[in-house]
Amino acid sequence: MVFTSTVFLFLFLPLFLTLYALLPARFRTAWILLASYAFYAWWRPDFALVFAGSTIAAYAVGQRVGVWRETRPAAARRILALGIALQLGTLGYFKYAEFGVESLNAILVAWGAAPLPALSVILPIGISFYVFQSISYMVDVWRGDAPAHARFVDVAAYIALFPQLIAGPIVRYKTIAHVLHAPRSSLPLVGEGAQRFMLGFCKKVLIADALAPIADGAFALTSPTATEAALGVLAFAAQLFFDFSGYSDMAIGLGLILGFRFKENFDRPYLAASITEFWRRWHISLSRWLRDYLYIPLGGNRRGTGRTYVNLMVVMLLGGLWHGAAWSFVAWGAWHGGLLALERWRGVGERPRSLRGMAGTFVLVLIGWVLFRSVDLAHAATVFQALIGASGWSLSPELAWQLTPRGFVTLAVAYALIWFPPATVGRGARNLVDRVAVLGQRVLRWSLLPLFVLAVMRAVADSYSPFLYFRF
């Protein structure tokens, strides 16, 4: 089920919220759990069994770890390792088995050996996110950060929480455990959450979906020109940001309506002045998860300079692979890992922010998005060649018909919002940028409701448009 679908907007959400408001607080967690499974099973009911199995395993391991962590720490570590292996094994089979067989067959064919039978595995939606949340719960119990004796319904509802189930943000159990036992909302939270949901809905439908034809059309060309490649990369960068941050806004808004306050997932990432800063601003919940559950356990920066560079590269390679089972995602992770290591070596993070640093970082991010969006490395190489002018600068008829006035206006508006994001600035709003930000916030506040109505009308009229991060 998709947040922008008519089924969700006019059937699931009204029914869920009505019963949620009528139920006593002590029964709301169970209702969240039931509704979340209905939400998840709407596409493939059989995959809800995989989801339930992953949840039961995480809860069982967490309970044993909680009992043994003080009295039998060695046994607790072993069962924790088993639980993590089960979660990663499930993710590995569904997400990487097909990719692994294809890669192995390429090697076998190159050596003149017979390839293995092809493997076709359907990827359960949202598996990357709920596996990470399951691991987070088990590890937090081991560390003493989460309650050791939680109710099953609380843990299951945390993992299945439908607002952020499919595409995040990744939520830590310890941050909402105190609310899960008896969730309570309030009118101020409902109002704040409704505004946040409407904002995310507008970002997705009015901006991201309008830019999709330009990005898809440009990346579908077999031999794009420099103009087409540049338009495609710029359109995709904006599309991905408004699509994913729009989903995060909707998830955060729905969480607020239910009484949960999720942490922010984006903080003006395209205004970062270094790649290090970019990863503090982009997909923040994933960045922090990788830091806390992978980078720090690997040793972080505590084992010497060389080991720090290796840890950064390993984390980003695995982060790239987490996004997709393809060598292009591995290359994207290697690109960012190498840049992070280079910036640490040069001490870039210690320098003051500058316009030059922001522009350079944006270009480096765009180069990475080429790898991220391309179907394979050969396709990425074609786009890179086009960007340096190897195929000329003209505009082909195949893409020209996609470049509607609405698309160009949306692209311009998107980058105006990216570079001059509306914000509430304090009394120190003396420069032009701050004044523009304040004005933008006021305009947004008064125009949000009519924009939301327009977005709903467009979502109902247009064809199905899933969020980009659904496939990760």
DSSP code of 208? I
Nearest to 162 by CA among 278, 60, 251, 70: 251
Nearest to 460 by CA among 448, 471, 452: 452
Angle formed by the axes of helices 226-258 and 209-220, to 10°?
140
Q: Decide: residue 30, CB within 10 A, 0-12 exposed, 13-18 middle, 19+ buried.
A: middle
Nearest to 201 by CA among 465, 406, 12, 16: 465
Assess whether 323 carries a catalytic annotation: yes
Contacts of 35 (CB under 8 A, 6+ apart): 12, 16, 162
What is the helix (H) or strand (E) element at residue 431, kind and residue range? none
Q: How far is CA 43 from CA 4, 38, 208, 250, 451, in A?
A: 15, 9, 23, 20, 29
DSSP string across 444-463 = HHHHHHHHHHHHHHHHHHSP
Contacts of 202 (CB under 8 A, 6+ apart): 246, 448, 451, 452, 455
Nearest to 252 by CA among 170, 322, 151: 170
Residue tagged 């990216």 (tokens): 418
> Any alpha helices (H) in 111-221, and if so which ranges?
127-143, 152-160, 173-180, 187-202, 209-220
Q: How far is CA 469 from CA 42, 51, 88, 239, 246, in A?
A: 18, 18, 19, 12, 11
Annotated catalytic residue, options 149, 181, 323, 336: 323
Give the Cα separation of 335 and 367 in Å (integer): 9
Active site residues: 323
